């Protein structure tokens, strides 16, 4: 009931049918993020793509300059020197067969998973568990690599994965309500630029059809790309 009242009040701060500039929308969303916790500022982009077509799949990663404000727990499949390198880089869990068995038991105290190429045989055995959770290491996302130090630091430093849903919507958290407005705006611009650059070659017509900003418990505010 309390959340409902807050949403009702927040909606009075803007016109639902109006398209605001990004800075205006961000100001509205940020000023109305009044939950008792530090709300995440989120972006949703409706794209003119058909993810069912193989040439219009959209997936990638982008490094936000000011991070996301979220702490990610990272698991790394590696052996020997690479395992030690991963630990030194700040990985939360590092292992090989024992990590695979841990995942098989449903014990997964991590948010992202990285693997060296030689570990993919083991990782494949838990692919049906990691895949549906979007945790399967992938060379295109930089999570299958020999440079585990860079991979771990990228995830810990605010790297964001993006993936188009079945309806062509891409959404992501781009920071916290406690961030300075300038930092959030810069994160948003970097994220949007990454989506623009990832435009599938097979897409025709308007690519970005709608952009909406919101906070975790706040209403969505439609905005332009500038």
Domain identity same for 62 and 164 = yes
pTM of the model: 0.85
Domain membership flag for residue 1: no
pLDDT tens-digit profile of 177-189? 999 999 999 999 9
Per-residue pLDDT band at 55 (split at 50, 70, 90) = confident
| Together in a domain, 44 and 106 | no
Q: Which of 137, 156, 175 is the last residue of a domain?
A: 156
**Residue 62 in domain:** yes
Place of tokens 């098989």: 104
In this structure, the answer to whether residues 112 and 219 fall within a common structural domain is no
Region of poorest pLDDT, from 51-55, 58-62, 116-120, 133-137: 51-55
Cβ-contact 33, 40 below 8 angstroms:
no
How many C-beta atoms lie closer than 10 Å to residue 107's C-beta?
Answer: 11
Output the CA torsion sign for 73, 175, 169, 141: negative
% of the chain exceeding 70 in pLDDT: 94
Q: At what angle do helices 181-197 and 22-31 cross, to 10 degrees?
A: 130
Same structural domain, 97 and 150: yes
Tell whether 33 is covered by a domain: yes
Among the candidates 105, 138, 156, a domain finishes at: 156
Nearest to 62 by CA among 211, 195, 168, 222: 195
Residue 183 lies in a domain: yes
Domain CATH code at residue 188: 3.30.190.20
Return the SS3 of 61.
Answer: strand
**SS3 per residue for 99-114:** HHHHHHCCCCCCCEEE
Q: Say whether both 117 and 89 belong to one domain.
A: yes
**Of the candidates 74, 91, 60, 14, the residue with the CA atom closest to the CA atom of residue 162:** 60
- In the chain, how many domains are there? 2
| Six token digits for residue 166 | 């079945």
pLDDT digits (tens, 9 = 90+) for 114-171: 999 999 999 999 999 999 998 999 998 999 999 999 999 999 988 999 999 889 999 9
In a domain, 208, yes or no: yes
CA distance 180 to 63: 18
Q: What is the Cα–Cα distance from 181 to 198, expressed in whole angstroms?
A: 26
Residues 64 and 81 in one domain: no
Question: Domain containing 33: what range?
Answer: 14-68+159-223
Query: Is residue 5 in a domain?
Result: no
Assigned domain for 6 exists: no
Express each pLDDT in 13-29 by its tens digit. 678 889 999 999 999 99
For the domain that residue 95 is a member of, what is the CATH number?
3.40.50.790
On whether both 78 and 144 belong to a single domain, the answer is yes
Looking at the DSSP assignment, which residues form a beta bridge with residue 112? 74
pLDDT at 1: 42
Q: Are residues 87 and 142 in the same domain?
A: yes
Of the residues 129, 156, 183, the one at which a domain ends:
156
Report d(CA 30, CA 181) in Å as an integer: 8
């Amino acid at each position: 009931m309390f959340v409902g009242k807050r949403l009702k009040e927040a909606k009075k701060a803007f016109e639902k049918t109006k398209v605001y500039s990004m800075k205006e929308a961000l100001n509205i969303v940020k000023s109305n993020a009044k939950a008792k916790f530090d709300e995440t500022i989120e972006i949703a982009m409706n794209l003119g793509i058909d993810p069912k077509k193989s040439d219009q799949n959209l997936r990638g990663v982008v490094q936000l300059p000011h991070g996301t404000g979220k702490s990610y727990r990272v698991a790394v499949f590696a052996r020997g020197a690479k395992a030690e390198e991963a630990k030194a880089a700040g990985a939360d869990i590092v292992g090989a067969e024992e990590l695979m068995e841990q995942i098989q038991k449903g014990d997964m105290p991590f948010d992202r998973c990285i693997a060296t190429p030689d570990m993919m045989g083991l990782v494949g055995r838990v692919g049906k568990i990691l895949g549906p959770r979007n945790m399967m290491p992938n060379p295109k996302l930089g999570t299958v690599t020999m440079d585990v130090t860079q991979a771990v630091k990228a995830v810990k430093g605010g790297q964001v994965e993006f993936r188009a849903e079945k309806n062509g919507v891409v959404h992501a958290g781009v920071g916290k309500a406690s961030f300075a407005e300038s930092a959030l705006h810069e994160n948003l611009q970097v994220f949007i630029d990454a989506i623009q650059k990832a435009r599938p070659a097979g897409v025709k017509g308007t690519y970005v059809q709608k952009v909406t900003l919101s906070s975790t418990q706040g209403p969505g505010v439609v905005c332009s790309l500038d």
